Amino acid sequence: MRGSPFRLRLAPALLLVTGLSGCLFGPYYVRPNVATPANFRFEAGETAEVANTPWWEQFQDPVLNDLILAALADNKDVKIAAARVDQFLGQFVTTRSALFPQINAGFDASRQRASQAGPTPLPAGFGPVYNTFSAPLSVAWELDLFGRVRRETESARASLLASEEGRRATILSLVASVATAYINLRDLDQQLAIAKATTDSRAGSVRVFQARFSGGDVSQMELSQSQSEYEASLATIPQLEAQIAQQEDALSVLLGRNPGPILRGRELTELVLPVVPAGLPSDLLERRPDLLQAEQNLVAANALIGAARALYFPQISLTGLFGSTSGQFSKLFTGPARVWSYAGSLTVPIFTAGSISGQVSQAEAQQQQALIQYQQAIQTAFQEVDDALIALQKSREQLVVQARQVDALRTYARLARLRFEGGYTSYIEVLDAERSLFNAQLGYTQTNGLVFNSLIGLYKAMGGGWVVQAEAMTGRVMGQKAVAQVAGQAGDQAASQSTIPSMTPPVTPTTAAPGAEQPK
């Protein structure tokens, strides 16, 4: 057998299969060149390290920390995103399985009766009723010579990684949403406290004016004015209480709970403002999960071009069967009952009426959509960071001005009341001063909340390593390990793709789309 013709014929075939197995059609992915601004318009250059730490802990409110931890563990959107990752992991495993032989085993048993009146008489010694037992082992394997399955696997791997980045984007949004909802809740609490304090103060003024009106010291007009201001501040209380209840309900849903009350921690004025994160615009390409997700979607669409182009070329499949067939179960596994077969099939598209070229055009159009969506996502990210920086800087400036305004109006209200008590002015001046002070206090509280929310929005827009730490708090371990292993395989494959030659189909050649190039 050493120099048998069979082996001599088999060797070139194996060499051909081995050489062709490295061929992949379609453009290899190369990250598109994206124009990024040199710096942000209002860049705050304090430190970039805080972008990689759980920034919400800098508020120094244990209740907020517990709320975010509870949300990461029980939020329904995070659970849906995790299930979506598992779905794409299963899809990747299913797609990749086509690269390997499919082996199946079976067992069949039947009992039949043949016709004794048929054109062919039964063999001598055989009755019309007989049994058949079969135990086959079948193998089927499509040789991926032109890389269709490998390109589909590459696309499925990218879709899996995109779903994982989508889950991280959900986590990023969740943490920011919980922190924002909590700040809004504490803001409303402070506004309610101001409204109640103002209402109590005005209630005391009404009682004094009622006594003075009974003694004839003030007119009914002044008494009515006092009562009007009291009712105005009193009317804001149920409005704020309704907003507080609704905010609690919204925060409860974020926590994965039924609507209900929320535990409070520190007052809004007692919270510590976190440090402003810093970074270059180009950092967003690596720090924001939504941009990484958009890029993986582009990788997936790019790989499908190669899968579609591979349809122009032959599909080769190998099948084999080995087993036993016998009319008696006791003789099923004996030598005479053994059966086997092997076969190969070759399918070559000759005329498809544009079916394959249509699939190629569709894949290229989807790649273009993914490319534009990726570019758009980057521009939106830059806008969000710039807007957050502007909002933070300007809200801080506004807060300083409003603080001075509140101090001035507080002094004005005190002096106006003294002038009224001394008989130098009418009560209208007191009402105007107190009304202005009340509105300014509410405005200051709202702006203070806006400062915190702007900083939260900046952390959300900048992304950072803190998302990975928040991800660990969700309690998801097994799925992360599987995806991490797939990501490592994707990195190894990307590193080796530069050495894999490319083949261009002779039918309806297409050029590589922007953001991708064909290797030499």
pLDDT of 162-208, one tens digit each? 999 999 999 999 999 999 999 999 999 999 999 999 999 889 888 88
Contacts of residue 276, defined as CB under 8 A and 6 or more positions apart, other chains included, come to 44, 46, 392, 455, 458
CATH code of 101-143+314-347, in short, is 2.20.200.10
- The predicted model gives 380-406 an average pLDDT of 93
- The predicted model gives 298-310 an average pLDDT of 93
Taking 60 as the threshold, does the pLDDT of residue 13 lie above it? no
pTM of the model: 0.81
- The predicted model gives 283-288 an average pLDDT of 82
Tell me the backbone φ, ψ of residue 287, rounded to 5 degrees. Answer: -105, -20
User: Percent of the chain scored above 70 by pLDDT?
Assistant: 85
User: Percent of the chain scored above 90 by pLDDT?
Assistant: 50
Where exactly are the structural domains of the chain?
28-99+144-313+348-517, 101-143+314-347
Contacts of residue 42, defined as CB under 8 A and 6 or more positions apart, other chains included, come to 386, 389, 390, 392, 393
- Report the alpha-carbon angle 186-191-193, nearest 5: 95
Residue carrying the six token digits 């040789």? 143
- The DSSP code sequence of 454-508 is HHHHHHHHH--THHHHHHHTTT--HHHHHHHHHHHHHHHHHHHGGGS-B---SSS
Q: How confident is the model at residue 10 (pLDDT cuts 50, 70, 90)?
A: very low
CATH code of 28-99+144-313+348-517, in short, is 1.20.1600.10
The tokens for 490 are 């994707």
**Taking every pair of C-alpha atoms in the chain, what is the biggest distance, in angstroms?**
136
Taking 90 as the threshold, does the pLDDT of residue 87 lie above it? yes
Residue 326 has a pLDDT of 81
Residue 519 has a pLDDT of 35
Q: How confident is the model at residue 284 (pLDDT cuts 50, 70, 90)?
A: confident
- The predicted model gives 430-453 an average pLDDT of 93
Residues 244-283 have pLDDT tens digits of 999 999 999 999 999 999 999 999 999 998 888 877 777 7
Q: What is the 3-state secondary structure (H, E, C) of 224-250?
A: HHHHHHHHHHHHHHHHHHHHHHHHHHH
Residues 307-342 have pLDDT tens digits of 999 999 999 999 999 888 887 888 788 878 888 888
Looking at per-residue pLDDT, the higher value among 44 and 273 belongs to 273
Residue 425 has a pLDDT of 78
The tokens for 88 are 């794409």
Taking 90 as the threshold, does the pLDDT of residue 44 lie above it? no
Closest CA to 473 of 165, 68, 84, 81: 68
Closest CA to 71 of 177, 185, 163: 177
Residue 488 has a pLDDT of 66
Looking at per-residue pLDDT, the higher value among 506 and 388 belongs to 388
Q: How confident is the model at residue 36 (pLDDT cuts 50, 70, 90)?
A: confident
81 to 78, 88, 463: CA distances (angstroms): 5, 11, 18
Residues 453-499 have pLDDT tens digits of 999 999 999 888 888 888 888 876 556 666 666 766 665 554 444 33
Residues 456 and 44 sit within 8 Å (Cβ to Cβ)? no
How would you classify residue 258: left for phi > 0, otherwise alpha for psi between -120 and 50, otherwise beta? beta
